[in-house]
Amino acid sequence: MLAVSEFIATFCNPTRRHRLLGWATLPYTSPMRRILLIDDDRLQFVLTRAQFAQFRGEPFALDYAASYEDGLAQLLAGGHAACLLDYQLGPRDGLALIREAVASGCRTPIIFLTAETSDSVDTAAMNAGALDYLVKGELNPAALERSLRYALKLGDTLGQLHRLATHDGLTGLLNRREFDRLLAEETERAARFGRPLALALFDLDHFKSVNDTHGHPAGDAVLRAAAARLAAGLRAVDRLARFGGEEFAALLVETPPAAALETAQRLVATIRSEPIVLPDGSTLRLTVSAGVAALPAHAADAPGLIHAADTALYAAKHAGRDRALLA
């Protein structure tokens, strides 16, 4: 029998714990990153898998799609670190697949594979969104591994740049520019299909006094806490942005006016519910005012929707703050 102190020491040590439980003592290895090959020739899958086995660095797992439709579906589903894409896919080609994937928001790094050596194909692939271009007849394990690592590194860098361009650095939410882009898309979609769309604008009450009394670090902490509470209260399909200063905007898709107002009222109550802890350890009670508007009830387009929600927000402020009002 182990003494209590020895038992605790054993379970705090992974090697000793594994031995005690009869587990094999193996080093932890992270899951292999998965690469997707889209090619209508299964022989290419066999050859590529054999080349993967000869890689000298990090191993990769190779998945396979034999058609345009299956390849696009797997690519858009996510889960792949990179994609190897053949130029010829039956009656359709890889260039069209790249364009369709990119248009759908796919940012998986794509390496174009072709039997041709034409400069026009090379240029067309890059213009469509591929990060590299390989000729099948010149392919070998070293070249394929080098191209994969280049694409993965470049893909990571582009992903970081995209996040910097579309997100607010303080709160991590979408920034105003990206939110405006999504709002334009969603209003167009709602109008085309006759579906409801709502916008809720939130403004922190008396925020200037937070900075004046407690300092800007405290103001930053308040903004981050408010952003986190608002985000936690929304659905995955909704979009939340820092609209400017102490103002936030929530785009509520497929949401009629009454349901949007209910959501905004719930979020106002969430902000009010608990004090926010400031960097110096003190706490601060915070409230927020909100204005809600919806398509097509209160506006016909994106600018009109913003104006209607902003008017409702002003009315909430004028009515005493700490509340949400519908346009």
pLDDT in tens, 167-176: 999 999 999 9
Tokens for 94, please give them: 């890889």
> What is the pLDDT at residue 130?
85
> What is the pLDDT at residue 161?
85
Confidence of residue 238 (pLDDT cuts 50, 70, 90): very high
- DSSP sequence for 206-260: THHHHHHHH-HHHHHHHHHHHHHHHHHTS-TTSEEEEEETTEEEEEEET--HHHH
* Mean per-residue pLDDT, 196-214: 94
> What is the pLDDT at residue 254?
94
Structural Rg of the chain based on CA atoms: 27
Summarised one tens digit per residue, pLDDT across range 57-74 is: 889 999 999 999 999 999
What is the CA 91 to chain-centroid distance, rounded?
33
214 shares its domain with 188: yes
26 pLDDT exceeds 90?
Answer: no
Residue 23 vs residue 283, higher pLDDT: 283
What is the CA 299 to chain-centroid distance, rounded?
29
Residue 304: give its domain's CATH number.
Answer: 3.30.70.270
User: Percent of the chain having pLDDT more than 70?
Assistant: 90
136 touches 39 (CB < 8 A): no
> What is the pLDDT at residue 1?
42
Segment of 18-27, 114-123, 129-138 carrying the highest mean pLDDT: 129-138
> What is the pLDDT at residue 21?
39
> What is the pLDDT at residue 138?
85
180 shares its domain with 282: yes
Residue 21 vs residue 195, higher pLDDT: 195
295 shares its domain with 156: no
Confidence of residue 118 (pLDDT cuts 50, 70, 90): low
Q: Which residues, other chains included, contact 261 with Cβ-Cβ below 8 Å and sequence gap of 6+?
A: 292, 324, 325, 326
190 shares its domain with 318: yes
| Cα–Cα separations (whole angstroms), residue 12 to 8, 18, 29 | 6, 11, 20
Structural domain including 110 reads 33-165
Tokens for 205, please give them: 């009450």
d(CA 153, CA 160): 11
Buried b (16+ CB within 10 A) or exposed e, 151-189: bbeebeeeeeeeeeeebbeebebbbeebbbebbeebbee
> What is the pLDDT at residue 61?
92
Residue 150: give its domain's CATH number.
Answer: 3.40.50.2300
- Taking CB atoms within 8 Å and a gap of at least 24, the contacts of 17-26 are none
* Mean per-residue pLDDT, 239-261: 96
> What is the pLDDT at residue 23?
40
93 shares its domain with 200: no
> Global pTM?
0.66
216 shares its domain with 190: yes
Q: Is residue 132 part of a domain?
A: yes
How many domains is the chain partitioned into structurally? 2
206 pLDDT exceeds 50?
Answer: yes
